[in-house]
């Protein structure tokens, strides 16, 4: 029997929020897509373990997510943040300017957040003013 090492670059997880069994999640994630989790109101705590490695975070169709946690600002390797169809998401956490690696933010179908992040006029625009590419439309690359 031989052992083969696999390098995981993308991980798609179907979260069973009722059971809360997340021990199998690797903490050296580079990309994380959280899609169609209507029961999620906050990001799970296990996710904090990827603070030094996560480069891409996409949260799509999480209709009851109402806030991003303060600890998201400790994700020093985060380069891309995509928020799509999270209508209850009201604002970005304080300290987003600490995410110096962040190069792209996409916000689509999050009406409150979109208005707060509009450059020069939104209440949260200063939080992401250091990000070179901020868009309010959704595209996959």
Q: What is the set of domains in the chain, with CATH numbers?
A: 27-135 (3.80.10.10)
Phi and psi torsions of 78, nearest 5°: -65, 120
Taking the C-alpha atoms of residue 90 and residue 96, their distance in angstroms, rounded to an integer, is 15
Residues shown for the chain: 141
Taking the C-alpha atoms of residue 129 and residue 1, their distance in angstroms, rounded to an integer, is 54
Read off the pLDDT of residues 54-67 as tens digits, 9 standing for 90 and up.
999 999 999 999 99
- The predicted model gives 6-34 an average pLDDT of 59
Chain-centroid distance of CA 77 in Å reads: 12
Pairing of strands 11-12, 133-135: unpaired
Query: pTM for the complete prediction?
Result: 0.81
Least confident of 32-36, 39-43, 47-51, 129-133: 47-51
């Amino acid at each position: 029997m031989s052992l083969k090492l696999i390098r995981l670059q993308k991980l798609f997880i179907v979260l069973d929020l009722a059971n809360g069994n997340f021990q199998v999640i690797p903490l050296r994630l580079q990309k994380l897509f959280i899609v169609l989790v209507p029961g999620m109101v906050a990001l799970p705590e296990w996710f904090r373990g990827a603070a030094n490695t996560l480069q891409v975070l996409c949260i799509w169709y999480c209709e009851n997510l109402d806030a991003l946690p303060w600890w998201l600002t400790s994700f020093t390797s985060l380069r891309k943040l995509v928020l799509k169809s999270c209508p209850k998401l009201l604002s970005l956490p304080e300290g987003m300017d600490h995410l110096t690696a962040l190069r792209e933010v996409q916000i689509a179908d999050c009406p409150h957040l979109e208005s707060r992040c509009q450059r020069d006029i939104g209440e949260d625009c200063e939080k992401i003013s250091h990000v070179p590419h901020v868009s309010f439309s959704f595209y996959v690359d």
